[in-house]
Each structure stands twice: as structure tokens, then as C-alpha cells.
């Protein structure tokens, strides 16, 4: 079952999710696991954004603080210094595009939305900043709710679940109730591949992805691009993981995914086109 006739109201821009879309990753960080340091200046950012939009990205996701396992935590001022100028120059050059901000800080989310971001993407589900959920609800923009066990510093030490699908599902049910109580309308679910999960946990979640839509009826975002669940089984580096990523993207689409969050937009769009032929 795919979520039909689902649209997100992103500050007046409607995003239709009755057909899968691609979110392009724009990390303006020096230490992200795959693309850290690549977008070091305005020219590089604009070129990458233009490429992704021309290739078919529906959303560009801007992140100013790496959340890879063991990443060094930057302070809020540094994150703002990375995110806001990037967002402002992108909106100036691509006024019709839709941008999301990837942050767990309420202050960064507030500033980014005020600057023009239309979606907030949060790895922490509000657990790292007590003001976060209320802030996002007050902003009235769609919220990407992700599951993470632990924090980025320790999440991959010894992740453990009795039943990973049931526990992530219960987590979503609890968080959705809180968000609805705060008045937040548009919610997207992200199971959090690689965030406090073993390779086996990741594949179990992917295999049972349909359960989240069946029970909760909300769109699901998949963030598996070039991650360890591709690299470790194949014994390759992230730079070699495009083929494996594409293979798992097809599985995710068959399991009902609505948004693919990716480093490689053109290839993800191709997977969606081939999936659509299978669906027909």
C-alpha cells in the first residue's frame, strides 16, 4: 500500500508524494562521511544544487553539522554560519526550489525556516534539544521524524533490539502522538538506517518497511545512500557504493518508500522510473 494523495504543505509550496520523489543531499560540512569538504564555497554549492535540480530532485536538504558515527559536535554558531549563507544564496538563485534543513537544533531550524527553508529534517526526533518539537510545530512546516538509538557519538557502539521493527514502530507511535498534540500536521517517517542499528537491523527494517505505512499511514523517507549497510557487506568504500545503493533503492520503493534521500540524484530518478514500469 502506497500513501496516495499525500501532499506536504511546505510554506505554501505543495509537495505531492503520491509518486516517489528524490531529496538531494547538500552537506556544507568538512567531515560528512561521503561528501564532506566537497562543497567548500558558494560556486561549488550553486553548481551542485543546479545539477541536482536539473536531474530531477524535488527537495534539496542542507546540512551544516555532520551526524556520522563519532562525528565532532559543532556549536550552534558554527552550524548557523554554514547553513544560513548557503540557504540564502540558493534561494536567491533557485527561488522555485524546495529546501529542507537537516538539523537537531531549534535555533537553527527557526533561523532556516525564517530564511526560506520549507521542511525540517531532524535525526534526533527532538531528543537533543528540549525546544525542538515545539519550535517545529509553531513553524508549521513538515517535519521529518527519524528514529535513532543513542546519539551520533555512541550510536554504533552496541545497538540492541529485541524486535527492531516493533520497537521503531512503537517509537513512532509515541512521537507522533506528541507532535499531533502540539498541532503539527505534516509528518514524514525516517527509520534511521545506520543510526543505532547493525547491518542486520538495517536490512530487517528495509524488508519490513511496508509495516510503517500500513500501521501509521504516513510517508516514509529512506536514507541509505552510500551508507555502511551497502559498504560493509560488499567490502567497499562509500565512493564505490552507488550500484549497491541503487539496488536497495528499488527494494525501498517496492516497500512503499515515498522519498529517497540521496547523494546521486540522476541514478535515483532512474530507479524510480524503472520501478514505475514494474508498478504498471
Q: Which are the contacts of 122, defined by CB distance < 8 A and separation ≥ 6?
A: 102, 103, 104, 109, 132, 136, 143, 144, 145, 146
The residues carrying an active-site annotation are: 227, 261
Neighbours of 261 (CB within 10 A): 23
Q: Which are the contacts of 135, defined by CB distance < 8 A and separation ≥ 6?
A: 106, 109, 110
DSSP calls for 225-279: TT-HHHHHHHT--GGG-HHHHHHHHHHHHHTT--EEEES-HHHHHHHHHHHHHHH
Burial letters 181-204, b for 16+ CB under 10 A, else e: eeebebbbbbbbbbbbbbeebbbb
Q: Where are the alpha helices (DSSP H) in the chain?
A: 42-55, 76-93, 106-115, 132-139, 164-181, 199-207, 210-216, 228-234, 242-254, 265-279
Amino acid at each position: 500500500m502506497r500513501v496516495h494523495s499525500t501532499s506536504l504543505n511546505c510554506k505554501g509550496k505543495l509537495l505531492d508524494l503520491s509518486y516517489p520523489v528524490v531529496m538531494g543531499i547538500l552537506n556544507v560540512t568538512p567531515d560528512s562521511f561521503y561528501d564532506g569538504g566537497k562543497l567548500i564555497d558558494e560556486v561549488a554549492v550553486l553548481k551542485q544544487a543546479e545539477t541536482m535540480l536539473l536531474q530531477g530532485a524535488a527537495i534539496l536538504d542542507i546540512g551544516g553539522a555532520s551526524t556520522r558515527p563519532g562525528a565532532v559536535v559543532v556549536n550552534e554558531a558554527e552550524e548557523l554560519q554554514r547553513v544560513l549563507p548557503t540557504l540564502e544564496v540558493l534561494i536567491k538563485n533557485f527561488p522555485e526550489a524546495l529546501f529542507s534543513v537537516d538539523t537537531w537544533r531549534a535555533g537553527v531550524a527557526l533561523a532556516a525556516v525564517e530564511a526560506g527553508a520549507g521542511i525540517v529534517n531532524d535525526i534526533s526526533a527532538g531528543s537533543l534539544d528540549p525546544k525542538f518539537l515545539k519550535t517545529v510545530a509553531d513553524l508549521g512546516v513538515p517535519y521529518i521524524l527519524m528514529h535513532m538509538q543513542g546519539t551520533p557519538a555512541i550510536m554504533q557502539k552496541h545497538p540492541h533490539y529485541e524486535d527492531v521493527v516493533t520497537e521503531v514502530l512503537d517509537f513512532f507511535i509515541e512521537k507522533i502522538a506528541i507532535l499531533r498534540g502540539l498541532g503539527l500536521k505534516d509528518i514524514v517517517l525516517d527509520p534511521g538506517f545506520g543510526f543505532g542499528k547493525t547491518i542486520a537491523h538495517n536490512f530487517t527494517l528495509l524488508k519490513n518497511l511496508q509495516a510503517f505505512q500500513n500501521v501509521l499511514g504516513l510517508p516514509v523517507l529512506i536514507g541509505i545512500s552510500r551508507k555502511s549497510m551497502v559498504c560493509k557487506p560488499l567490502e567497499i568504500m562509500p565512493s564505490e557504493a552507488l550500484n549497491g545503493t541503487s539496488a536497495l533503492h528499488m527494494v525501498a520503493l517496492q516497500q512503499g518508500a515515498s522519498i529517497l534521500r540521496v547523494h546521486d540524484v540522476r541514478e535515483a530518478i532512474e530507479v524510480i522510473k524503472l520501478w514505475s514500469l514494474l508498478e504498471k
